[in-house]
Structure 1
Amino acid sequence: MRPSHEANVTASGRAIGAPDAPEPLAAGVWTLAGGRLIIAEPGGPATVLVPTEQVRLLAVDLPLPNRTKRLEALPFAIEDQIAEPVESVHLALGAEIAPKRYLVAVVRHDVMAGWIDTADAAGLGHAAMVPDALALPRPDAGTWAVDLAADRAVVRAGDGTGFAVSPAILQAAWQGAGRPPALAYGAPLPAEMAAGGSTLAPAALSERLLAPALDLRQGLYTRRRTALPNIWRRLGWIVALGAAAHVVIAAADTVMLRTIADRREADTRALVAVAAPGANLSGDLAASVADLLPTGGSAPPDIFLPLLTRISGALGPLTGAITIRAINYQANALTLDLDGSDPALVSRIEAALRESRVPGSVTRSPDGSIRITASNA
């Protein structure tokens, strides 16, 4: 993945003398860094790569027959895997990465809205928006693809998900994940990690992003289409007026559909009463029936890497002032022992955790080391 500092064109809003409504940038892959859009590769589909540090990528089981039903079930499927309230985050459904298992992205609404504003201001409101970890090729199962740079390490795992951490934490995260073979697509990896993998040159970004595994521009944030010529705009108005003419007919149909729905609800209650005598069907019928269905596996969600990713993002501005001594994970609590000589380092770490909404405590040991204890609560 091309480092942002090597890019030769930037778009940070309108250029001097540009009109109020910028012309759409029809093509090219752009990276979003420091609130600016930076060209990474001209040509190819218009795509904005956003920092994976601010996106949670999950592999979620959704054994449902169509996309509409999967979207309806998605908030319930992931609510126990995230720390934020479901209503405060945007959920994007991606590709099927295993039978009935799908890639899902979670990003806060305020973050997503800021990215959309930046893209719109640069004339890229029509571009796909993809977490930059998904620009790496997906490796084989049990393997990591790693793009290591001076200030961050981006990882894509064999299950199709990905994350980004500080280079200071990369090796500890790799050890915590069971030391998977690692393929390097950026700077050379630490010797211990490189022993089980190799250094590769990926295909061009534009080729890898022809069909991205996930586009964040969904739901409330669906992509804005590029401007249409006048003739097509007029045709659009004609179609819209024709659709409006059918609203009256649709309203009449709604009454009949409500009658049919009431009849089917009564039939469903009768069937459940036969299949599960004594079941409580008061309140919402769909929720009551869902409660009678068998649940999935009881294995707890894997929160080690997500929690480590959140802490790494919080400590990013302090990378040069700290050294990771040890990482320990037990009983859903992650403990990091750090070395640092700055007397104010404890308060700086506490402030960084608070700003990133990471619940945890910071203490200094008698030997001078600093311990961070955090949980996914």
Structure 2
Amino acid sequence: MTGQNGAAPANRPGGAVQGGPCVVVAGGGTAGHIEPAMALADAVRRLRPDARVVALGTERGLETKLVPSRGYPLELIPPVPLPRKPSPELLRLPLRVRSAVKQTRNVFERVGADVVVGFGGYVALPAYLAARGRLPIVVHEANARAGLANKVGARFAERVLAAVPGSGLPGAQVIGIPLRHSITSLDRAALRAEARRHFMLDEDAPTLLVFGGSQGARTLNTAVSGAAGALAEAGIGVLHAFGPKNSVAVQHKPGAPAYVPVPYLERMDLALAAADLVLCRSGAMTVAEVSAVGLPAVFVPLPHGNGEQALNAQPVVNAGGGLLVPDGELSTQKITDVVIPLLRDPQRLAAMSAATRDSGHRNAADQLAAIVLEVMSR
């Protein structure tokens, strides 16, 4: 039997796989679950080059693209979505959980798992249940409010970690979110000139970075593109990632700094380096990344769910590194009244940059990797 990478593992006596210790990461579905898992995987390999890292996922999630592209094997198990309301799906849930747990245990045995690290989502619940009483478990919660899977896993985990205080997981140690090394090592000042050339932005003008993702960009797109004239008049450049499913149309004013619309940011590191201020949503990963690099932010939380996006941004806002604008209040006028004056105040931007950098956790990946290896060594 093979994993998603197509390579059949070489067996050693007892059925386990040859090689160093094996860390299984369970965090599929969305980038918010997958990226911290991959950042941890990279950190584990930095600390223990002989270690093997295997990712669990489902065929539904982004992990089928993101995990192989990072060079890690991916094992697929059945997804176990948890119905939010009574439904026929709820009646079938115990059978689906039992089947997923059985298949997950087969994966653990085949790859020679030594520890399971869960990040929440559809994949984490069967991973926790399959590992219970058999393998040590480490739980990491990225959001301000823990999901059901991590609440279950935390009950029998060796260690419980969280990105911010108040996640709802008792005894959780706050370490931040594991981030890619390319982000935590980013020197924005050193890369600024290269980044602006890359995006064909004005070398000296105050520059606004805008991104909201394919699902949540409409409000941001409408407000910022509508303020294009005012931004140009104020001498402000714009790098606007409007989302691959969306579009914007703006007219460039001759002599004004460039307004550069792009569907997607292939080089997020350069985008962060090019900007003086970012206007964005406040998903947990977004908040962690802009904080780690010291980029001042105007956060516009998605108005859906349980309000967790506003909670994600609150520590940075409280520290003075960002502003919070409710989705319903973001408008072209708000860009003119709030964002433009802020971009024209370099002293305030510098103070916000220092504040947001101090509120971040740049070493979370290495810290989590050390905890995982310590738990495994027991």
Q: Give TM class, smaller chain.
A: under 0.3
**Structure ranking higher in strand proportion:** 1
TM-score, structure 1 normalization: 0.22
- Give the structure with the larger helix fraction: 2
